[in-house]
Structure 1
Amino acid sequence: MLQEESFKESDEEEIVKDHHPSSLPYLQGSTFASILEDTITELRVLSECNNELRIAKTISDMKLLIALKYGVRQLPVTDELESIDPHNLNCNKYKLDKLAADRKYLSDVLSSTYVGLSVNRSFEPLKEYVKKWLDEKTYRATLAEDEIRNRGIRHDLNKQLRQQRNYIKTKIYETDVTIDELRTTVEDTGLYSETRSRYVENWQRARTEQHLQTIYDKEIVPSRVIEYFKQRADYEQRVHAEVELLTNIRINETLEKVESWMNKYDTDMEAIDLKIQLKKNEYQDMFDRRVNLEQTLEKHDQMMKDWIHFKEEREKARLYREKMMNSAIIIQAWWRGLLVRRQLGPYKVKKKKGDAAKKK
């Protein structure tokens, strides 16, 4: 019978192994399943008994619960990070949601592992969860690297944008100066044309001798006044152009200084960031060294305490042995003295045969 049962068990194990290549033996699978069953039960008891946490979670999810109660249709969640405010990460609601999600994740992992051990006697669900977690960790590390790379690209693009903006402003100022020069040239041409027409008219008036003196007497004073104001206008125009040119030069110099200071600020910030990173690394090294030294001191302290305790126990044992040895010596000496005095045991006086015959 035992052989038949053993053959049946071996056949069942071969069938299970054929069914699932990575399956465990029945005893090991049942043992792990029993352990996970107890763990799942304890987690459920821990979750159900924490009334304060359940009340806080219910209060935080009150809007969602009310919506579900009245049958409000909920949009499918495509990304869990959309509803999270990055400026309020220390909110109690996020902490409760994170705690509930972690507990649910742990319960799902243990439940799936328990089902896999119970049905297939293998840890394939646990392997899948571990692989999924490692993939998520790798994906997050990739996202962090992409974010750092994008930040550097954004910084370079902002720098190029500032340079392009400064270049465009410089070109605009140069174009304005050119337009002002062309406007001044047009005004000078108009004045030149008026002067020529005046000379032609004067030349025509000179042709008429009878009206020359009258026209001269009438126009001499206004002509002088006009010439004076014309010179004043030319002078003011030249002063305005020179002041505007100096102002543009001053603005360009200021822009160059601003650009140089911005470049210096970027360089200094990079150097400061590098120093901060170096200081962080030094602090981390000192912290690790201090932790190692503290652990070494704790070990040495524990070793010294153990050694002192060992010496005390050894001294107590030595004293006890010495006391017992002295007591045994005293008792043996007393007993031997008693035997000698009373002539008992090995110290008993033997009677001679001659003495016994005489007595008879």
Structure 2
Amino acid sequence: MNVSNQNLDDMRNYSVPLDDDAQPAVDPYGLPYFHACLFASVLEDTITQHRILKESNNEMRLSKTMVDLKRLRALKYNVEQPAVTDELENVNPKKLDCIEYKLNKLEADRNYFGTVLTDTYLGLSLNNNYSALAEYVAYIVNRIEQKSLLIQDEAKNRALRRDLNRQYRQQRNHVKSVMYDTDVAIEHLKTQVEDAALNAEIRSRYVQNWQNARTEQHHQVIHDKEIAPTEAIEYYKQKSDHEQRVHTEVELLMTISVNETLQKVEAWMNKYDQDMEAIDLRIQITKNNHTNAYEKRINLEKTIQDHDELMKNWINFKDEREKARLYREKMNNAAVIVQAWWRGLLVRNQLGPYKPLPKKKGAPAGKKKNK
């Protein structure tokens, strides 16, 4: 009654316009009663067709049941399920093409479509407006804009991470080269200090002991004895410097090679994940085909078993019929033999119907002789 009175009031308001001072607030999503009824009728048929489409797709329902088998088993035995706060919490980004996510997405889209149609139908039937449909459309538009912003942010963050990694590698190489140059400069300064000390020692020796020839001779002898070890020390020191330089360069080359190898390993790991996803999909398809073939084989075995049973029954029936025919034939032959024996006995003994007729009295003798 409330709905019908409201619809009558809407029709009166639509047919008879009010004054400017008495006009009510206009609903931006409101419709006239007739248009709302037509729209609701169309939505009612659409909801029915959607429900029929959803309930009649047995293959998808079977696949969804196989996917949710663990959860359904847990619900059957009253196992407490964790609360889902985010719909993307259990989604693996590396398995976005698997059949489970596709089925969940399809079911969620169908349920969402059915909810939108139902709420819009209720709004049109009760309030003569489609505000629920407008809210759902606005929600979808906002969500699409949010996702586009998230995609842009992800692309920016990915580019920023790539630039930071490149800057980090450049800075590390720069630090290594600066350390190497600094070590070379320190070694060069050490060599200069040693040379300067040696020159100062020689000059002081010549200045202080020039007047003493014997002391000069001793210093010369000392110098002659120390020159060979000094050269050997310098030779091994330069050799050590060369080895350190080669070690640094080899370490740099090994670092570059390791980075390239890690990039190749990452690429092969991505390829391995993709190949494993494809293999899992093929395994699932093969498993489904095997299940269908197994069910078909079971049905064929049942049909063959029924056919064998029918054939055995038919063979038994023919055997029983043949036995009955042979029995009737044997009994008939026996009866014929007995009847023939009995008739022959009657004929030989002249009994029954084969009994000879009595001779007529007074028959002429001449006639008998003629016979």
Specify the TM-score bucket, using the shorter chain as the normaliser: 0.5 to 0.7
Q: Deviations over 1:156-208 (max 9, x none)?
A: 3233222222221122112222343355467668878998999999x99958x
Q: Which residue of 2 aligns with 1:33?
A: 40
Structure 1 CA distance for aligned equivalents of residues 7 and 199 of structure 2: 122
CA RMSD of aligned residues (A): 4.4
Q: Which residue of 2 aligns with 1:49?
A: 56
Does residue 74 in structure 1 map to residue 82 in structure 2? yes
Q: Deviations over 1:121-175 (max 9, x none)?
A: 1111111111111111222222222233333323332332222222211221122
Q: Which residue of 2 aligns with 1:124?
A: 131
Structure 2 CA distance for aligned equivalents of residues 206 and 87 of structure 1: 89
TM-score, scaled to structure 2: 0.52
Does residue 151 in structure 1 map to residue 149 in structure 2? no
Q: Which residue of 2 aligns with 1:13?
A: 11
Does the CA contact (< 8 Å) of 2:120 and 2:130 recur in 1?
yes
Structure 2 unaligned regions, length at least 5: 15-22, 261-371
Structure-to-structure mapping, 1:203-352, within 5 angstroms? 224-238=224-238, 240-241=240-241, 243=242, 251=249
Which is bigger in relative contact order (C-alpha 8 A, separation at least 6)?
2
Does the CA contact (< 8 Å) of 1:60 and 1:93 recur in 2?
yes
Structure 2 CA distance for aligned equivalents of residues 179 and 8 of structure 1: 97
> CA distance change for structure 1 residues 198 and 237 in 2, over 3 Å: closer, same or farther?
farther
Does residue 108 in structure 1 map to residue 115 in structure 2? yes
The residue type equivalent to 1:137 in the other structure is I
Does the CA contact (< 8 Å) of 1:116 and 1:122 recur in 2?
yes
Structure exhibiting the larger radius of gyration computed from Cα positions: 2
Q: Displacement, 1:42?
A: 1.8
Structure 2 CA distance for aligned equivalents of residues 188 and 102 of structure 1: 85
Q: Displacement, 1:25?
A: 2.4
Q: Which residue of 2 aligns with 1:354?
A: none
Q: Which residue of 2 aligns with 1:345?
A: none
Runs of 4+ in 1 over 6 A off after TM superposition: 189-201
Q: Which residue of 2 aligns with 1:336?
A: none
Residue from 181, 187, 191 that aligns with 1:174: 181
Does the CA contact (< 8 Å) of 2:64 and 2:103 recur in 1?
yes
Where 1:164 maps in the other structure, the secondary structure is: helix
Does the CA contact (< 8 Å) of 2:39 and 2:124 recur in 1?
yes
Structure 1 CA distance for aligned equivalents of residues 68 and 145 of structure 2: 31
> CA distance change for structure 1 residues 232 and 44 in 2, over 3 Å: closer, same or farther?
same
The residue type equivalent to 2:67 in the other structure is S
The residue type equivalent to 2:100 in the other structure is K
Does the CA contact (< 8 Å) of 1:20 and 1:120 recur in 2?
no
Structure 2 CA distance for aligned equivalents of residues 32 and 9 of structure 1: 15
Q: Displacement, 1:85?
A: 1.8
> CA distance change for structure 1 residues 64 and 194 in 2, over 3 Å: closer, same or farther?
farther
Structure 2 CA distance for aligned equivalents of residues 8 and 72 of structure 1: 47
Q: Displacement, 1:11?
A: 3.8
Structure 2 CA distance for aligned equivalents of residues 174 and 9 of structure 1: 91
The residue type equivalent to 2:231 in the other structure is Q
Q: Displacement, 1:45?
A: 1.9
Q: Displacement, 1:66?
A: 3.0
Does the CA contact (< 8 Å) of 2:40 and 2:125 recur in 1?
yes
Q: Displacement, 1:58?
A: 1.5
Where 1:87 maps in the other structure, the secondary structure is: helix
Does the CA contact (< 8 Å) of 1:33 and 1:114 recur in 2?
yes
The residue type equivalent to 1:46 in the other structure is L
Where 1:97 maps in the other structure, the secondary structure is: helix
Identity across the alignment (%): 39
Q: Displacement, 1:114?
A: 0.5
Structure 1 CA distance for aligned equivalents of residues 104 and 193 of structure 2: 76
Structure 2 CA distance for aligned equivalents of residues 97 and 126 of structure 1: 23
Does the CA contact (< 8 Å) of 2:10 and 2:33 recur in 1?
no
Does the CA contact (< 8 Å) of 2:67 and 2:100 recur in 1?
yes
Where 2:93 maps in the other structure, the secondary structure is: coil
The residue type equivalent to 1:233 in the other structure is I
